Each structure stands twice: as C-alpha cells, then as structure tokens.
Structure 1
C-alpha cells in the first residue's frame, strides 16, 4: 500500500496530459483528465529507496530490464515529465547528479572508446551516409533528408570560419571525418583531425586514402592535449567538449587558444545547459561514461578566461531535436538487426536514450550552441555582418 501511495504521488502530477499506469498487481489507474494515449506498465515493484536515491538511473535500468514497459510515444512521455512544473523530473528529491570528475588522458580514451568503438557497422545502421554523429542543420525545417541536413551543418560551420584557401584547419574530435574532409576537398584547406576512437581513426584513414587526400589531410589517434606546440589557422570541434569534464573545460579552451595562429578563428559546437551544468547518472553509466553537459555561464566564463573572444553564438536546439527523432526512426527501422547483433537489453537502452535526448532538447532542458571564437579582437578578420554565414 505504501508503494502505491508513493507511485501515485510521483506520477499523478508529472504529466500535462492523461497517462494510464498499470501496476505490478495488474490494477490500473489513469492520472489526468481524458483518454490516455500512453500507458506505463510496472511489471515489477521497484523499491522506493532506489527511485529516491537516483530516479533517472533506477527508471532507466527498469526500462532496459523490462521491469517497466511504455506503450505509446516515449519521447512525448519524457518531454511531458520535463514540461510539468510538478513533475518528479524537476523535483530536487528525485534529480540526482553524480559529482563532477576530472578526466585524465587515459580515462578520456577509455570513455570515448566505450561509446564510439561499439562498431562502425552499428552506427551505419542508423546514421546517414556521411556518418555524422552530431546535430544536423535543417535549412528546410520539414525535411526528413538527414544526409542533406548533415552536409548543410558542415557547410554552416565552415562558412562561419570565413576560410581562405591554402590555410590550415584542426578538427578536435573529428568523428568519421566528414567535416575535415569537406574542408579539404571543397574549401582548399590543409586539415588535421584528432580522435581517440580506433574505429573512427581507421575509417578516416581509409577515406583520406580513397579520396587521394594524403597531401592535404591527416588524422591522429591521440588526445587533443598531446598536440604539442603546433598551430592552425582554424579550429573546429563538434560534440567534443561534452566529453572533457567540468574540471578540464578551462584547459580545453586554453588549448584551443594555444593552437590557433594569431587572428585565428574557431567554431566550437556543443551541448550546453542554459540552466547550469549537470550530468545524468543513467546516461553516464550506460551511454557516455564521463559525460558532462556544461552550463552556459560556465562555458562563457571558460572561453573568456582562456583569452578567446566570442564573435557569434547560435542555438540549434530544435535542429538537434529533429536530428534525434530521425535517428530514432532509423534505429527502429533497423531494430531487428540491432537486436540480433547487440541483444534486447542494449536495444531497449539505446531506443530510450535517443528518445530521452530528443525530449530533453524539445523541453529546453538542454540546448546545443555554436560558439564562433577568435584569437584576438572579436570578428577582426570576419565580415561586418552575419550575412556571409548563409552564402552558398
């Protein structure tokens, strides 16, 4: 009886729409007015102590282990929990964040490889053909063409740099290489990419060789902190600073400053919480070990503290929501293959992760921002207005 009272307290005001909840004893209740489109089924009783200790970890594991089933739109359910003012997702009693941790180079390598070295074959099943694993840029907001939107994102980033042919570019956390190779092929830049993922490194090497770009492109399997004193005219880093940890953010931006030539320009693209930095225990344990989403004030402080200046900032929150929705659609189109290869628990985990992230962006719980930075007076060598960023 005590458990039912607790669950009712937790769930009855957590959603701005009606939700049906079926408990472990087979009895159901509808919370909210109207006909529910979503049902939560508790196949097992989950201890109150576990939920209050860490709701995101306990409920995430409950879904992975089929202790919890969700019938209906998972993204809508989670978004509703973020949106409702009385939701357990917004209550300090339930929201637990693990402490900030410092990332050594060895820890960073292990963390990155645990996520990105799942296997290129896995990511090929649901990413677009460019193998771009970051927020796309939807010039046409209604399109489902993810490949077109990812290519548009690459051009949007490179155009912001206002690059000159023949100059050099460093891509920190280069992924599977689409941005750096586009910079070499279409912008005439000499490019260097760095990654800690062996799978990414091998594929980028192959792409460089296949495209005959050995004279203008190289990829390094090493930490960005191992680059010595080399300098570049431009630096890009997409979806990277989420991995460095709060304690290392000042060093990260100091390294961006260090590796830029005089009057150099950098475009840093990363997930940011406007409400302040945090990390989610379930995602940290199962998806992104060592991950930390920094707060906007924290990021701006670290940028300014490094000596860099901000020339422009752009939020792409809705673009990342759309990207994740398409990824999840692709993921579920390949669900049978993924489950045969990786198992049901893994598949449920990733489906929940993609939906939870889409909901988090939709609700404004997290954002993604592009920071255009300069070494020297902001915008010194950039056009006077932002119009140049949109030129084809």
Structure 2
C-alpha cells in the first residue's frame, strides 16, 4: 500500500512541501511546483497508510485521534494547512473526490433531520458538558462567529460587537418588542437583547444542557420575567413575534428542510416583522460535509452555498432586505478558541481522555483552515414579509450599532 500512497502524494502535493516518515522509518519529501507551506507527517503503521489511501476524508482525522498519525517537525495546524490547501486543487486526491461525489448523491439522506434525529444530533455535540465549552468560549458563552471591526480585538470584545451588529439589523427601536431566538445556545444573545434593548425574548433549543444553563443565567441576571427558554423544535412554533434571530443554527437544518425553515420564519413573523439569520456558508457552490466532521462533530450538519439558500427564501414569500458576507471573521474566532483550548488542553484530557482532546483540537484547527483556505464564510440574511419594514438605506444599522 505504501507505494500506492506514494504515487498519490506525488500528484497531490502541488503547493508547498510535505515530509513523510513511513512506518519503516524511511523519510521522503514531496515538493510541489508551486510555493506554499511546509509540513511533515509521521505515518506510524500500515493501517494508517491503508486508511489514508482508501478513505482520506474520514481516515486522517480518525488516525490522528488514535495516535497512528502525527505531525512531523511541525504543528497540527501546519500539517492541516498544507493538506487542506492542496485538497482544494482540481485533481487532488482522486479517491476523496470520488467519495465526495458519492456523498453528494446521498446528502439528502445524510442531512435528513426530522425532530427526533435533530435532537440526537444536537445532543451529540452541544450536550458534551458545559465544562468543556468553558475551556475556550468567551465569558458570554458565544459559540458562533465573532465580529472583528478592527481585527485586533479580544475575543470578548469581538463577541460583544457581534451581538451589537446583529441587534442593529433587528431594528430594536423600542422596548417591549417580542423576539424569538431560534437555537439560543447558552442564552447570551437572548439575555443581551433583553437587558440592553428591552426586548421580551423567547429562546428555543434542542439541547437540554444549554436549556438548563440558560435558565439559570436568566434567573441570576434577574431577567426570568423578560426572557423565557424552551426545549422546542422550530417546526413546532405556534405564535408570532416582532423579531426573529437565529445565530449558528441554520447549519443544522439540512438542505431538505430549508423550505420549511423559512416558511416557519414567515408565519412566525408579524406583518412588519424582521428576522436575522446568521450562518456558516461556502463560496464555491453546493457541496458536502466532510465525513469526519459529520461523524464526530456535527452529524447531519451542512454549511450551504448562498445559491442553495436563496431559492428557499424566495419560495417562502420573504424579502431579503439585506445580505452581508463575513469572510475571515470566523477564522479569527476559531484561532482564539484554538489557542484557548491548547492552553487548557490538560483539563480537557482530565474531563474526557487523550483521544477526545485530539478530536477537539483537530476540529478547531481544521475548522479555522476551512475559512482560511477552503472558501468557507459566514452570511447574515435580514428577512421580512414586508417590502417597507426596514428603511431605504443601511444607515440605521450603523447608527444603532454606534449607539450601543
């Protein structure tokens, strides 16, 4: 198998150089014709070689988790940088491209997320335990892309700026507006909208861990009469709101459910209501979720191209009253999370084990690089049933953002 993987790597590495230590101790360099990063990898046994040859998209992460693959004279980030950069080149790893094509055919089933399956998928990641997320999140427990207005902010400052940026698009121009937060996480956005903007907020989630924590936070903040959190699937909503916000939840909806999602927003908004949907997306057209990410991190998840989203919005009868693309903001956010997790890695091992810590550091590094070299981005869609619900220009957003 080694000679076959050797042939693949000679074609695969077109940018930068990759050093490989084979299981027998031999070291070989693969140098591409184009300039790029330098990294090395140690393939410790024949099983790792075989797995990387036949199922690289899944096997590389699994082999790293098991300790069968390790960076060689570089960091994990450096190694993934080289591999993910070259994976974007046309004609990369032929086996992985075939696997991606097969996943594309099956993606409707992979992303089939009825209520019961959605709950299992959410529990898989978000119910891992709050102690884990306390290792790297900011003090408000924001587990989504921050907003770096200048580029040198702390994580805390950038997450506060993200909430202000979103609030400005929600047009919270008077107290007492009823706001729905779909996928409310640990409650930070809902509590901010209530405390700083006088909103009456209902947050819904499918995570029991997040629900319990969010309710505790509301009580501790003295906002339990102004903010309510419920364990509820968005498809079961039965009332209308002045505003709807959803941050980092749309990635878990699944392509077969986009139409339903936006129809629910349409029927749950009052006639002059405004919604803001913040999601990860991709700039290179429809694709598939990496099989390792789907298995270990976000089962049923997918970051869509805007072309896959707009059709569903149009059919729902909603206006897209604003669209903004945030390119490298999540890369900066993930870099902060990766550094914080690394600083407290020993605590993660104590909470779980070494294999889990490897899985999580792989996830954070690979996710960061997805935004840096593989075309991922964030988008924010402002939506309304009404043609006239928002002003003619975006000036009101800037004014509101600068006031708070």
Same fold (TM over 0.5): yes
Alignment of 1:18-33 (within 5 A): 18-32=17-31
Q: In the alignment, does 2:116 pair up with 1:106?
A: yes
Specify the alignment match of 2:182 in structure 1.
Answer: 172
SS in 1 for 2:107: coil
User: Partners in 1 of 2:286 and 2:81 — Cα distance?
Assistant: 19
TM-score of the superposed pair, with normalisation by structure 2: 0.90
Specify the alignment match of 1:162 in structure 2.
Answer: 171
Alignment gaps of 5+ in structure 1? none
Which one is further off, 28-37 or 128-137? 28-37
Which one is further off, 206-215 or 180-189? 206-215
Alignment of 1:188-203 (within 5 A): 188-203=198-213
TM-score of the superposed pair, with normalisation by structure 1: 0.93
Q: In the alignment, does 2:144 pair up with 1:134?
A: yes
Alignment of 1:46-195 (within 5 A): 46=47, 50-51=51-52, 53-71=54-72, 72-84=74-86, 85=89, 86-88=91-93, 92-93=97-98, 95=100, 97=103, 99-101=107-109, 102-143=112-153, 145-165=154-174, 166-195=176-205
Specify the alignment match of 1:233 in structure 2.
Answer: 242
User: Partners in 2 of 1:382 and 1:126 — Cα distance?
Assistant: 37
1:125-152 CA-to-partner distances (Å, cap 9, x unmatched) read 1111110100000112123x10110111
**Conservation of the 8 A alpha-carbon contact between 2:80 and 2:366:** yes
Q: In the alignment, does 2:306 pair up with 1:304?
A: no
**Conservation of the 8 A alpha-carbon contact between 1:277 and 1:298:** no
State the Cα distance separating 1:211 from its structure 2 match.
1.4
Specify the alignment match of 2:390 in structure 1.
Answer: 382
Q: Of residues 209, 212, 215 in structure 1, which corresponds to 2:219?
A: 209
User: Partners in 1 of 2:277 and 2:291 — Cα distance?
Assistant: 25
State the Cα distance separating 1:365 from its structure 2 match.
2.9
Alignment of 1:360-371 (within 5 A): 360-371=370-381
1:257-311 CA-to-partner distances (Å, cap 9, x unmatched) read 1100002111001111222132121111111111122222111111111111111
Specify the alignment match of 1:345 in structure 2.
Answer: 355
State the Cα distance separating 1:18 from its structure 2 match.
1.7
User: Partners in 2 of 1:81 and 1:263 — Cα distance?
Assistant: 48
Which one is further off, 293-302 or 380-389? 380-389
User: Partners in 1 of 2:97 and 2:36 — Cα distance?
Assistant: 30
Specify the alignment match of 2:339 in structure 1.
Answer: 329
**Conservation of the 8 A alpha-carbon contact between 1:271 and 1:369:** yes
Which one is further off, 130-139 or 242-251? 242-251
**Conservation of the 8 A alpha-carbon contact between 1:194 and 1:224:** yes
Decide whether aligned partners of structure 1 residues 134 and 210 sit closer, same or farther in structure 2, where only a CA change above 3 A counts. Answer: same
State the Cα distance separating 1:35 from its structure 2 match.
11
Q: How many residues align?
A: 387
Decide whether aligned partners of structure 1 residues 118 and 15 sit closer, same or farther in structure 2, where only a CA change above 3 A counts. Answer: farther
User: Partners in 2 of 1:122 and 1:315 — Cα distance?
Assistant: 30
Q: In the alignment, does 2:225 pair up with 1:220?
A: no
**Conservation of the 8 A alpha-carbon contact between 1:266 and 1:373:** yes
Show structure 1 runs of 4+ deviating over 6 A. Answer: 33-36
**Conservation of the 8 A alpha-carbon contact between 1:315 and 1:369:** yes
**Conservation of the 8 A alpha-carbon contact between 1:51 and 1:94:** no
**Conservation of the 8 A alpha-carbon contact between 2:13 and 2:30:** no
